[in-house]
Amino acid sequence: MVEIGNEQLFWERLRELPRPGEENFLAFYDHRMGAIFTNPRLMLIPLDDHLVHRGDGVFEALRFEDGAIYQLDEHLRRLERSAKAIGLDFPVNPVDLDVLIRQVCLVSGADEGNVLVFLGRGPGGFTLDTRECPQPSLYIVAKRFARKPESFWFAGVSAVRTRIPAKQGWMSKIKSVNYLPNVLMKKDAIEQGADYPLCFDDEGFLAEGSTENAVLVDKDGVFVIPELKNALTGTTLTRAMNLAREFMPVMARPVPEGELYACREIILLGTSIDAVSVVRYNGQTVGDGKPGPISLRLRELLVADRKAHGQPLRK
Protein backbone atom coordinates (compact mmCIF):
# COMPACT_ATOMS: atom_id res chain seq x y z
CA MET A 1 0.00 0.00 0.00
CA VAL A 2 1.15 3.53 -0.78
CA GLU A 3 1.78 5.65 2.29
CA ILE A 4 -0.83 8.31 3.08
CA GLY A 5 1.10 11.44 3.99
CA ASN A 6 0.39 14.71 5.72
CA GLU A 7 1.71 18.19 5.10
CA GLN A 8 4.78 17.66 7.27
CA LEU A 9 5.72 14.51 5.37
CA PHE A 10 5.28 16.31 2.07
CA TRP A 11 7.82 19.00 2.94
CA GLU A 12 10.24 16.49 4.45
CA ARG A 13 10.14 14.38 1.29
CA LEU A 14 10.41 17.43 -0.92
CA ARG A 15 13.63 18.52 0.79
CA GLU A 16 15.08 15.01 0.41
CA LEU A 17 14.08 14.35 -3.19
CA PRO A 18 16.83 14.42 -5.84
CA ARG A 19 16.40 17.51 -8.01
CA PRO A 20 18.13 17.00 -11.39
CA GLY A 21 19.79 20.18 -12.63
CA GLU A 22 19.06 22.15 -9.47
CA GLU A 23 22.53 23.72 -9.57
CA ASN A 24 21.44 25.52 -12.77
CA PHE A 25 18.27 27.11 -11.36
CA LEU A 26 19.21 30.34 -9.63
CA ALA A 27 16.03 32.28 -8.85
CA PHE A 28 12.34 32.12 -9.64
CA TYR A 29 9.19 34.16 -9.20
CA ASP A 30 5.73 32.68 -8.66
CA HIS A 31 2.90 35.20 -9.00
CA ARG A 32 0.68 33.22 -6.60
CA MET A 33 3.29 33.74 -3.88
CA GLY A 34 4.17 37.29 -4.85
CA ALA A 35 7.85 36.69 -4.09
CA ILE A 36 11.17 35.63 -5.57
CA PHE A 37 12.83 32.47 -4.22
CA THR A 38 16.29 30.96 -4.68
CA ASN A 39 15.73 27.38 -3.48
CA PRO A 40 15.06 25.35 -6.65
CA ARG A 41 13.29 22.63 -4.65
CA LEU A 42 10.44 25.08 -4.08
CA MET A 43 10.02 25.68 -7.82
CA LEU A 44 6.67 23.93 -8.27
CA ILE A 45 3.77 24.45 -10.65
CA PRO A 46 0.28 23.18 -9.68
CA LEU A 47 -0.66 20.12 -11.71
CA ASP A 48 -4.09 21.63 -12.39
CA ASP A 49 -2.60 24.74 -14.02
CA HIS A 50 -3.74 24.48 -17.63
CA LEU A 51 -0.18 25.47 -18.52
CA VAL A 52 0.83 21.94 -17.43
CA HIS A 53 -1.88 19.53 -18.48
CA ARG A 54 -3.17 21.32 -21.61
CA GLY A 55 -0.17 23.28 -22.85
CA ASP A 56 -2.40 26.33 -22.43
CA GLY A 57 0.16 29.06 -22.06
CA VAL A 58 2.92 31.03 -23.74
CA PHE A 59 6.53 31.81 -22.90
CA GLU A 60 9.70 33.69 -23.81
CA ALA A 61 13.38 32.93 -23.21
CA LEU A 62 15.83 35.82 -22.90
CA ARG A 63 19.53 36.26 -22.28
CA PHE A 64 21.27 38.52 -19.77
CA GLU A 65 24.94 39.22 -19.15
CA ASP A 66 27.19 41.89 -17.63
CA GLY A 67 24.31 43.59 -15.83
CA ALA A 68 22.12 43.96 -18.92
CA ILE A 69 19.32 42.03 -20.65
CA TYR A 70 19.11 41.72 -24.42
CA GLN A 71 16.03 42.57 -26.51
CA LEU A 72 13.69 42.65 -23.52
CA ASP A 73 11.20 44.94 -25.26
CA GLU A 74 11.12 42.72 -28.36
CA HIS A 75 10.51 39.58 -26.30
CA LEU A 76 7.78 41.24 -24.25
CA ARG A 77 6.02 42.42 -27.41
CA ARG A 78 6.09 38.87 -28.80
CA LEU A 79 4.83 37.49 -25.48
CA GLU A 80 1.95 39.95 -25.65
CA ARG A 81 1.16 38.90 -29.24
CA SER A 82 1.19 35.22 -28.31
CA ALA A 83 -1.01 35.81 -25.26
CA LYS A 84 -3.46 37.88 -27.28
CA ALA A 85 -3.68 35.14 -29.93
CA ILE A 86 -4.97 32.66 -27.33
CA GLY A 87 -7.07 35.16 -25.37
CA LEU A 88 -4.83 35.14 -22.30
CA ASP A 89 -4.49 38.17 -20.03
CA PHE A 90 -1.39 39.20 -18.11
CA PRO A 91 -1.84 39.06 -14.31
CA VAL A 92 0.39 42.14 -14.06
CA ASN A 93 0.77 45.19 -16.26
CA PRO A 94 3.67 45.29 -18.78
CA VAL A 95 5.66 47.80 -16.74
CA ASP A 96 5.54 45.62 -13.62
CA LEU A 97 6.43 42.53 -15.68
CA ASP A 98 9.49 44.34 -17.03
CA VAL A 99 10.56 45.15 -13.45
CA LEU A 100 9.94 41.59 -12.24
CA ILE A 101 12.05 40.06 -15.00
CA ARG A 102 14.98 42.36 -14.25
CA GLN A 103 14.68 41.72 -10.52
CA VAL A 104 14.73 37.93 -10.93
CA CYS A 105 17.91 38.27 -13.01
CA LEU A 106 19.51 40.41 -10.32
CA VAL A 107 18.50 38.09 -7.48
CA SER A 108 20.10 35.18 -9.38
CA GLY A 109 23.50 36.78 -8.73
CA ALA A 110 24.79 35.43 -12.06
CA ASP A 111 27.05 37.40 -14.38
CA GLU A 112 25.25 35.77 -17.30
CA GLY A 113 22.23 33.57 -17.70
CA ASN A 114 18.89 32.92 -19.32
CA VAL A 115 15.57 34.08 -17.96
CA LEU A 116 12.35 32.34 -18.92
CA VAL A 117 8.90 33.88 -18.59
CA PHE A 118 5.87 31.56 -18.52
CA LEU A 119 2.32 32.88 -18.73
CA GLY A 120 -0.38 30.26 -18.16
CA ARG A 121 -4.14 30.03 -18.00
CA GLY A 122 -3.75 29.25 -14.30
CA PRO A 123 -4.89 26.54 -11.87
CA GLY A 124 -8.53 25.61 -11.37
CA GLY A 125 -9.26 22.18 -12.84
CA PHE A 126 -8.55 19.52 -15.44
CA THR A 127 -11.10 20.20 -18.19
CA LEU A 128 -10.71 22.15 -21.42
CA ASP A 129 -12.93 24.94 -20.16
CA THR A 130 -10.84 28.06 -19.51
CA ARG A 131 -13.59 29.45 -17.27
CA GLU A 132 -12.45 27.18 -14.44
CA CYS A 133 -9.20 29.18 -14.17
CA PRO A 134 -9.97 32.36 -12.18
CA GLN A 135 -6.55 33.98 -12.65
CA PRO A 136 -3.67 33.60 -15.11
CA SER A 137 -0.40 32.25 -13.74
CA LEU A 138 3.03 33.84 -14.14
CA TYR A 139 6.36 32.16 -13.50
CA ILE A 140 9.80 33.67 -14.13
CA VAL A 141 12.96 31.58 -13.85
CA ALA A 142 16.61 32.65 -14.05
CA LYS A 143 19.06 29.87 -14.84
CA ARG A 144 22.72 29.47 -15.64
CA PHE A 145 23.75 30.04 -19.22
CA ALA A 146 25.26 26.91 -20.76
CA ARG A 147 28.18 28.57 -22.53
CA LYS A 148 29.47 26.68 -25.56
CA PRO A 149 33.18 26.40 -26.42
CA GLU A 150 34.50 28.51 -29.29
CA SER A 151 34.95 25.32 -31.29
CA PHE A 152 31.15 25.17 -31.60
CA TRP A 153 31.25 28.13 -34.00
CA PHE A 154 34.61 27.44 -35.64
CA ALA A 155 33.84 23.78 -36.36
CA GLY A 156 30.17 24.22 -37.27
CA VAL A 157 27.27 21.81 -36.73
CA SER A 158 25.37 19.12 -38.61
CA ALA A 159 21.67 19.10 -39.47
CA VAL A 160 19.17 16.68 -40.98
CA ARG A 161 15.67 16.82 -42.36
CA THR A 162 13.47 15.76 -39.49
CA ARG A 163 10.65 13.32 -40.02
CA ILE A 164 8.46 15.57 -37.85
CA PRO A 165 6.45 18.09 -39.92
CA ALA A 166 6.47 21.83 -39.32
CA LYS A 167 3.77 23.33 -37.15
CA GLN A 168 0.84 24.43 -39.21
CA GLY A 169 -0.64 27.85 -39.92
CA TRP A 170 -1.38 30.25 -37.12
CA MET A 171 -0.18 27.83 -34.42
CA SER A 172 3.37 28.21 -35.71
CA LYS A 173 3.18 31.94 -34.98
CA ILE A 174 2.42 31.47 -31.28
CA LYS A 175 5.28 30.79 -28.88
CA SER A 176 3.21 28.42 -26.79
CA VAL A 177 4.42 26.03 -24.12
CA ASN A 178 3.19 23.14 -26.28
CA TYR A 179 6.64 22.21 -27.59
CA LEU A 180 5.97 18.52 -28.22
CA PRO A 181 6.70 18.84 -31.98
CA ASN A 182 9.92 20.71 -31.17
CA VAL A 183 10.98 18.06 -28.65
CA LEU A 184 10.31 15.28 -31.18
CA MET A 185 12.27 17.15 -33.86
CA LYS A 186 15.33 17.37 -31.61
CA LYS A 187 14.95 13.72 -30.59
CA ASP A 188 14.69 12.71 -34.24
CA ALA A 189 17.83 14.65 -35.20
CA ILE A 190 19.85 13.02 -32.42
CA GLU A 191 18.60 9.58 -33.43
CA GLN A 192 19.75 10.33 -36.99
CA GLY A 193 23.20 11.27 -35.68
CA ALA A 194 22.93 15.04 -36.22
CA ASP A 195 23.10 18.10 -33.99
CA TYR A 196 20.04 19.97 -35.25
CA PRO A 197 16.82 19.23 -37.14
CA LEU A 198 15.29 21.23 -39.97
CA CYS A 199 11.57 20.86 -40.67
CA PHE A 200 9.55 21.47 -43.83
CA ASP A 201 5.97 22.44 -44.56
CA ASP A 202 3.40 20.47 -46.55
CA GLU A 203 4.65 22.00 -49.80
CA GLY A 204 8.21 20.87 -49.15
CA PHE A 205 9.61 24.29 -48.25
CA LEU A 206 12.03 24.94 -45.39
CA ALA A 207 10.33 26.18 -42.22
CA GLU A 208 12.66 26.24 -39.18
CA GLY A 209 14.68 24.25 -36.67
CA SER A 210 13.41 22.93 -33.35
CA THR A 211 14.18 26.19 -31.53
CA GLU A 212 16.17 28.05 -34.19
CA ASN A 213 15.45 29.92 -37.39
CA ALA A 214 17.38 28.72 -40.44
CA VAL A 215 18.55 31.03 -43.24
CA LEU A 216 20.70 30.58 -46.34
CA VAL A 217 23.36 32.37 -48.28
CA ASP A 218 22.33 31.22 -51.75
CA LYS A 219 24.62 30.51 -54.70
CA ASP A 220 24.33 34.16 -55.77
CA GLY A 221 25.40 35.49 -52.36
CA VAL A 222 21.94 36.62 -51.23
CA PHE A 223 20.91 36.30 -47.57
CA VAL A 224 17.67 34.31 -47.89
CA ILE A 225 15.03 34.00 -45.19
CA PRO A 226 12.56 31.15 -45.78
CA GLU A 227 8.99 32.33 -46.18
CA LEU A 228 7.78 32.13 -42.58
CA LYS A 229 4.30 30.74 -43.19
CA ASN A 230 4.91 27.83 -40.84
CA ALA A 231 7.60 29.19 -38.56
CA LEU A 232 8.01 31.57 -35.65
CA THR A 233 9.84 34.82 -36.41
CA GLY A 234 12.72 34.78 -33.95
CA THR A 235 14.00 37.91 -32.27
CA THR A 236 17.55 36.92 -33.28
CA LEU A 237 16.41 36.41 -36.87
CA THR A 238 14.90 39.90 -37.00
CA ARG A 239 18.08 41.43 -35.61
CA ALA A 240 20.29 39.39 -37.96
CA MET A 241 18.25 40.50 -40.98
CA ASN A 242 18.78 44.14 -40.10
CA LEU A 243 22.50 43.62 -39.51
CA ALA A 244 22.95 41.67 -42.75
CA ARG A 245 21.25 44.40 -44.80
CA GLU A 246 24.22 46.64 -44.00
CA PHE A 247 26.59 44.59 -46.16
CA MET A 248 24.65 42.22 -48.46
CA PRO A 249 21.30 41.77 -50.25
CA VAL A 250 18.53 40.25 -48.14
CA MET A 251 15.28 38.68 -49.32
CA ALA A 252 12.53 36.38 -48.09
CA ARG A 253 11.15 33.63 -50.34
CA PRO A 254 10.18 29.94 -50.28
CA VAL A 255 13.20 27.64 -50.05
CA PRO A 256 12.88 24.09 -51.45
CA GLU A 257 15.06 21.44 -49.85
CA GLY A 258 17.13 20.97 -53.00
CA GLU A 259 18.52 24.47 -52.56
CA LEU A 260 20.18 23.48 -49.29
CA TYR A 261 22.60 21.26 -51.19
CA ALA A 262 23.69 24.01 -53.58
CA CYS A 263 23.85 27.08 -51.32
CA ARG A 264 26.99 28.72 -49.97
CA GLU A 265 25.92 28.64 -46.33
CA ILE A 266 23.16 27.40 -44.06
CA ILE A 267 23.00 29.43 -40.83
CA LEU A 268 21.05 28.72 -37.65
CA LEU A 269 20.00 31.72 -35.56
CA GLY A 270 18.84 31.75 -31.94
CA THR A 271 19.05 33.46 -28.56
CA SER A 272 21.57 31.00 -27.11
CA ILE A 273 23.67 30.34 -30.22
CA ASP A 274 23.63 33.73 -32.00
CA ALA A 275 24.62 32.44 -35.48
CA VAL A 276 26.26 29.12 -36.31
CA SER A 277 27.06 27.40 -39.62
CA VAL A 278 25.59 24.09 -40.68
CA VAL A 279 28.56 22.42 -42.37
CA ARG A 280 26.83 19.09 -43.09
CA TYR A 281 23.21 18.58 -44.10
CA ASN A 282 21.77 15.09 -44.45
CA GLY A 283 25.34 13.80 -44.46
CA GLN A 284 26.43 16.02 -47.35
CA THR A 285 28.94 18.85 -47.13
CA VAL A 286 27.57 22.40 -47.23
CA GLY A 287 29.81 24.82 -49.16
CA ASP A 288 33.43 23.91 -48.49
CA GLY A 289 32.56 22.08 -45.27
CA LYS A 290 33.73 24.92 -43.04
CA PRO A 291 31.81 27.71 -41.28
CA GLY A 292 31.11 30.42 -43.84
CA PRO A 293 32.20 34.04 -43.68
CA ILE A 294 28.65 35.37 -43.37
CA SER A 295 27.91 33.11 -40.40
CA LEU A 296 31.10 34.14 -38.63
CA ARG A 297 30.52 37.83 -39.35
CA LEU A 298 26.91 37.68 -38.18
CA ARG A 299 27.96 36.06 -34.95
CA GLU A 300 30.48 38.84 -34.30
CA LEU A 301 27.86 41.48 -35.08
CA LEU A 302 25.22 39.86 -32.85
CA VAL A 303 27.65 39.60 -29.92
CA ALA A 304 28.63 43.25 -30.39
CA ASP A 305 24.98 44.26 -30.70
CA ARG A 306 24.13 42.47 -27.47
CA LYS A 307 26.89 44.27 -25.62
CA ALA A 308 26.02 47.65 -27.15
CA HIS A 309 22.24 47.52 -26.81
CA GLY A 310 21.53 45.40 -23.72
CA GLN A 311 19.09 47.10 -21.35
CA PRO A 312 20.50 47.58 -17.82
CA LEU A 313 19.01 45.29 -15.19
CA ARG A 314 19.10 48.18 -12.72
CA LYS A 315 17.01 51.06 -14.00
To the nearest 10 degrees (0 to 180), the angle between helices 72-85 and 94-108 is: 130
H helices of 224-292, where? 235-244
Beta bridge partners of 30: 35, 139
For strand 213-217 and strand 223-226, is the pairing parallel, antiparallel, or unpaired?
antiparallel
Annotated catalytic residue, options 167, 173, 175, 186: 175
Helices (H), the chain: 7-16, 50-53, 72-85, 94-108, 151-155, 180-191, 235-244, 293-309
Annotation marks residue 175 as catalytic = yes
- How many residues are recorded in the chain? 315
How far is it, in rounded angstroms, from Cα 207 to Cα 199? Answer: 6
Instruction: Give me the long-range contacts of 187-195 (CB less than 8 A, separation at least 24).
Output: 188/160, 188/162, 188/163, 188/164, 189/159, 189/160, 189/162, 192/160, 193/158, 193/160, 194/158, 194/159, 194/160, 194/280, 195/157, 195/158, 195/159
The catalytic site residues sit at: 175
